[in-house]
Amino acid sequence: MTRNFFGTDGIRGLTNSEPMTAETALRVGQAAGAHFLRGDHRHRVVIGKDTRLSGYMMESALVAGFASVGMDVVLLGPMPTPAVAMLTRSMRADLGVMISASHNPFADNGIKLFGPDGYKLSDEAERAIERRLETEPKRAKPELIGRAMRIDDARGRYIHFAKSTFPDQLRLDGLKIVIDCANGAAYHVAPEALWELGADVVPLGVRPDGININDGCGSTHPEVLQARVIAEKADIGLALDGDADRLMVVDQNGRLVDGDQLMALIALQRKRTGKLKGGSVVATVMSNLGLERRLGKERVKLIRTQVGDRYVLEAMRETGCNVGGEQSGHIILTDYTTTGDGLIAGLQVLAVLVEEGKPASEVLKQFDPVPQLLKNVRFNGGAPLDSKTVKARIAAAEAELHGHGRLLIRKSGTEPVIRVMAEGDDEALVERLVDDICDAVAAA
């Protein structure tokens, strides 16, 4: 069955255009609510959101949908995606919902669904909900319509949980930390958690107005953070995205550190302390070859998946690994969370920084990245990757890189684009091979 609503990370789109309309949100609430009405207990859904203007509209529509099929609703207000996942489990809810389009501009929005275990829904569950969207919902009897309530201490609950992942014997006293919350969901909880642990906190992106989320700030726009870290003479900078499930770090010199370096840091620290499970780290095909080599030196295997944090998590659950993520900053630590959590990942990085007592620039650089180049080629119909010329160019490139690099060619799942990525020890060779393949794709 082709999914018409759900993509790789829930439902997402331009607000007030399908599928991001109030009407569709109401139907999603009815369909998802009906799917999770199991047993004779009073059913409950937890709903959080980021700071987008459209969050009010989508929240109200979802509440109406869930209540109409007999599900009680607990409203959290602006909260990080991982907080919604955590509170879904903690409150014994049947379903969790996060209203967010993550790092996208404010005009977009999305709906992410979590099962009662706090994990994102499986493809099978999403297909079942889509089937329900095609049928008339079974509405509850008047006396069984759901109720809605807002809990006022959701922020405190999540802050307490996040702090519990930081070693009890450590404090952040003496550390000056700049944190950019992208004017998003963590604008309250992240600075407060760091302050409570003793840090001198310089907050950025903590004045959301409904339309400035991810606007020139956060993990996708780290330039302001880099400049501020240098200006403040801070020890480190942390950047979250709009829903705070992603983290990028800046050292004291303003150098940006990506998810690959952070995964290496956290995984190798866990290996030293006997806490790395599965003897492996899970990352996507986009992670740098340098990460794979660095882990290999410590006899840690790198397991690669297709792009998308949900695929990383699936592989982690299958293999029993407790460290995984993406180069873009989704860091998943299953000892604590069921999804990426920027704040908790940041706390693990800060713990290593405190324990080693060295500057961030020394602690964070775990390996020298192998030169990597990614280019996108648009095409107009057809199947360029089936072209004999393109196949020949790819085969020739793989032969040249053999043992000294890696090639990845894939079709985008969202637009008519072929993504061509190569990495290797010889930067000039990498650039030439990518250009050769791009030229062949364009001509196909």
Give dist(CA 70, CA 59) in Å, integer: 17
Listed in order, the ranges of the chain carrying CATH 3.30.310.50 are: 372-443
Note the pLDDT tens digit of each residue in 125-142: 999 999 999 999 999 999
Band (pLDDT 50/70/90 cuts) for residue 413 is low
Listed in order, the ranges of the chain carrying CATH 3.40.120.10 are: 11-152, 157-254, 257-364
Band (pLDDT 50/70/90 cuts) for residue 308 is confident
Q: Residue 78's beta-bridge partner residues?
A: 49
Q: Which residues are catalytic?
A: 102
User: At 238, which amino acid appears?
Assistant: L
* Domain 257-364: which CATH number of 3.40.250.10, 3.40.120.10, 3.90.1580.10, 3.40.50.1820: 3.40.120.10
Band (pLDDT 50/70/90 cuts) for residue 411 is confident
Confidence at residue 2, expressed as pLDDT on a 0 to 100 scale: 52
Q: Is the pLDDT of residue 324 over 60?
A: yes
Q: Is the pLDDT of residue 9 over 90?
A: no
Q: Mean pLDDT score of the chain, rounded to an integer?
A: 95
Q: Is the pLDDT of residue 199 over 50?
A: yes
Q: Is the pLDDT of residue 1 over 60?
A: no
Q: What is the CA radius of gyration of the chain?
A: 22
* Domain 11-152: which CATH number of 3.40.120.10, 3.40.50.11540, 3.40.109.10, 3.40.50.11710: 3.40.120.10
Q: Residue 72's beta-bridge partner residues?
A: 44
Return the percentage of the chain with pLDDT > 70, whole number: 99
Confidence at residue 414, expressed as pLDDT on a 0 to 100 scale: 65
Residue 179's closest CA among 266, 82, 244, 83?
244
Band (pLDDT 50/70/90 cuts) for residue 3 is low
Confidence at residue 6, expressed as pLDDT on a 0 to 100 scale: 86
Query: Domain 372-443 falls in which CATH fold?
Result: TATA-Binding Protein (3.30.310)
Q: Are strands 280-284 and 301-305 parallel, antiparallel or unpaired?
A: parallel
Assigned token pair, 261: 């370096």
Confidence at residue 356, expressed as pLDDT on a 0 to 100 scale: 95
Note the pLDDT tens digit of each residue in 19-75: 999 999 999 999 999 999 988 899 999 999 999 999 999 999 999 999 999 999 999
Q: Are 343 and 199 in contact (CB under 8 A)?
A: no
Confidence at residue 180, expressed as pLDDT on a 0 to 100 scale: 98
Domain 157-254: CATH architecture, name and number where available = 3-Layer(aba) Sandwich (3.40)
Note the pLDDT tens digit of each residue in 360-401: 999 999 999 999 999 999 988 788 999 999 999 999 999 999
Q: Are 347 and 165 in contact (CB under 8 A)?
A: yes
